[in-house]
Structure 1
């Protein structure tokens, strides 16, 4: 009976570990994607010669785009 209880406990811990690892991997992937997007935006802005600020709204009424 004790062996069954220990095996079930290990299964629960294993599932919790898998969930924790999945969440960690998701967060790390999100950080990497965010960094890539930031770098890509910076490269595009530098290439087209515009300085775009964080509060810039490209679809705003007073937009003066590059076109």
Structure 2
């Protein structure tokens, strides 16, 4: 995992969330961030395998493979 515990979540679009939701993620404890980041990294790792199954053709190709 990156030295920045928010890195996996930032890569998943944390900065696109509304400020109140982003604040929840930013206020997580180090352990909560570790777990959330590890889950996001695992989701990212399998994205190519499941992306076609989770992408709604009418959604413009948005990937639903993220925690945030």
Which TM-score band (shorter chain)?
0.3 to 0.5
Question: Larger radius of gyration, structure 1 or 2?
Answer: 1
TM-score, reference length from structure 1: 0.33
TM-score, reference length from structure 2: 0.32
Q: Indicate the structure whose relative CO is greater, using CA pairs within 8 Å and at least 6 residues apart.
A: 2
**Higher-helix-fraction structure:** 1
